[in-house]
């Protein structure tokens, strides 16, 4: 397995364990001092991966545009998510990882539209996007770990 996908798999396994070890109420709770919750951060990782990897490569995303719109950058929870939505997020954590790994191996990521992140780092190709995605998911995993101390 490519190391970039090994890292993402580890991150996603951590996020799956958090989903499985917290109640729906805990996943939805926004603690004082935070502007989002555990489940939003996890879903945001999925939505961002699709934007960073597929959209910026000029390829169709592998999840619904509605999901991406709900959890993209500069959004916040608009209300509690249902158990069915948590189950969908749980499934997407695994399926989107497998899909991007398969698509990368198949060589479909030929073009990439340069994008400068909010941190000022410019993504120039798919390899940079995959590396940055792992950094991004790591940041949100840290936020999840902080939030869970308060729920």
Residue 16 and residue 91 in contact, taking contact as beta carbons nearer than 8 Å: no
User: How many degrees, rounded to 5, is the angle at CA 112 between CA 107 and CA 114?
Assistant: 155
Enter the pTM of the model: 0.96
The string of pLDDT tens digits covering residues 75-124 is 999 999 999 999 999 999 999 999 999 999 999 999 999 999 999 999 99
Which spans in the chain are helix H?
A: 3-20, 24-28, 38-49, 65-71, 83-105, 126-148
pLDDT at res. 65: 96
pLDDT in tens, 14-67: 999 999 999 999 999 999 999 999 999 999 999 999 999 999 999 999 999 999
Checking if the pLDDT of 1 tops 80, the result is no
């Amino acid at each position: 397995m490519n190391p970039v996908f090994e890292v993402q798999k580890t991150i996603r396994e951590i996020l799956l364990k958090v989903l499985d070890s917290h109640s729906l109420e805990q996943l939805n709770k926004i603690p004082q001092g935070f502007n989002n919750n555990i489940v939003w951060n996890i879903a945001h990782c999925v939505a961002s991966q699709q934007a960073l990897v597929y959209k910026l490569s000029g390829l169709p995303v592998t999840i619904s545009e509605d999901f991406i719109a709900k959890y993209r950058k500069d959004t916040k929870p608009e209300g509690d998510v249902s158990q069915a939505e948590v189950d969908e997020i749980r499934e997407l954590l695994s399926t989107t990882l497998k899909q991007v790994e398969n698509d990368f191996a198949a060589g479909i990521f030929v073009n990439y539209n340069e994008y400068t992140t909010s941190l000022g780092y410019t993504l120039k190709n798919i390899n940079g996007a995959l590396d940055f995605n792992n950094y991004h998911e790591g940041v949100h995993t840290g936020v999840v770990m902080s939030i869970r101390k308060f729920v």
